[in-house]
Structure 1
Amino acid sequence: MERVPMTVEGYRTLETELQRLKSEERPRIIQAIAEARSHGDLSENAEYHAAKEQQGLNEARVADIEDRISRADVIDTSKLSGTTIKFGATVTLVDEDTDEKVKYKIVGDSEASVKDGKISISSPIARALIGKAKGEAAEVTTPKGARSYQVLKIEWK
């Protein structure tokens, strides 16, 4: 079983979603199925088929989250330190071409969200940054072409 690195925050988010799916969504869907069944003929009952489809999607999501939780290698990033970039680091970079500054936290695949400043450990930019120290440059091949970033700051939060 392949272990998946995950922050404490990412693990808690999955647990919260799993609890919601099991305690809120599952009963709601079961109720919708029961109500649709009461309308009679199931072969042409669109409400019944829609509710059954929702049930399938919900149960698939539950199974996916349970799998991720079972394989999680939870890492408390607040206890990490060091002078080189690794999982859990929050890095401030400057694009050497545009002078644009960006700040990212390197997290597990399932918790990545660029709009929240969280990039996946397996993303091209994170892979290019791993092992770099403050002041070093990292070359990253992105869909928009090659980019060069200089590491301005490494933080552990």
Structure 2
Amino acid sequence: MGRIPITRSGFEKLKKELETFKTVLIPENIRDIEVARGHGDLSENAEYSAAKERQAYIHGKIKEIENNLALSDVIELAFTATDKVIFGVTVCIEDMNNGQATKYRLVGPLESDINENKISVTAPLGKALIGKKIGEVINVKAPGGLKKYEIVDICVEP
């Protein structure tokens, strides 16, 4: 698998998540398993089974986060003006069909979150935006059909 682009803040967020799993969730889970063991026969102990399932989930997530961190390629953003869309910038696009303007920050796939208006550079919209300039129009295949957007603004935010 290739390297995964990520912002410094996204990388730090992943490290913090890993630390939480290791220092908070594992100890909590160990306590839950011990408490459940105290309730008797483990073969019919739903609380014990649930705690063991949680343990498997926690250890799986730790491996996943560690792998993502190992594959991450932190892209340091130069906070200077740019005239084209690149990784890490915030771009304002206008939907040519309804005139609605929306701002998105282009990030790596590990950081994308539509609720925070962060889209991946590997998503169809992200791919279409990379390298474009203000005033250019892009076409993106969407579930509802072809969408046209005009790039209205590009800015670099810390």
TM-score by length of 1: 0.95
Do 1:95 and 1:101's aligned partners in 2 also have CA atoms closer than 8 Å? yes
Is 2:80 the partner of 1:72?
no
Equivalent residues in 2 for 1:8-157, closer than 5 Å: 8-79=8-79, 81-157=81-157
Unpaired runs of 5+ in structure 2? none
Identity %: 38
Between the aligned partners of 2:81 and 2:71, the Cα distance in structure 1 is 24
- Residues 80/74 of structure 1: CA separation in 2 closer, same or farther (3 Å cut): farther
Residue deviations 1:84-135, cap 9 Å, x none? 1121111001111110001000001111111111001111101111111111
- The amino acid of 1:91's aligned partner reads V
For the aligned residue pairs, the C-alpha RMSD in angstroms reads 1.2
Unpaired runs of 5+ in structure 1? none
TM-score by length of 2: 0.95
How big is the shift at 1:149?
Answer: 0.5
Between the aligned partners of 1:131 and 1:143, the Cα distance in structure 2 is 24
How big is the shift at 1:81?
Answer: 4.8
Between the aligned partners of 2:138 and 2:107, the Cα distance in structure 1 is 18
Runs of 4+ in 1 over 3 A off after TM superposition: 78-81
Alignment length (residue pairs): 157
Do 1:80 and 1:88's aligned partners in 2 also have CA atoms closer than 8 Å? no
Residue deviations 1:48-94, cap 9 Å, x none? 10000000001101110010111110112244653211211110011
| SS in structure 1 at match of 2:132 | coil
Residue deviations 1:15-47, cap 9 Å, x none? 111111100000000111111112221100111
Match of 2:6 in 1: 6
| SS in structure 2 at match of 1:39 | coil
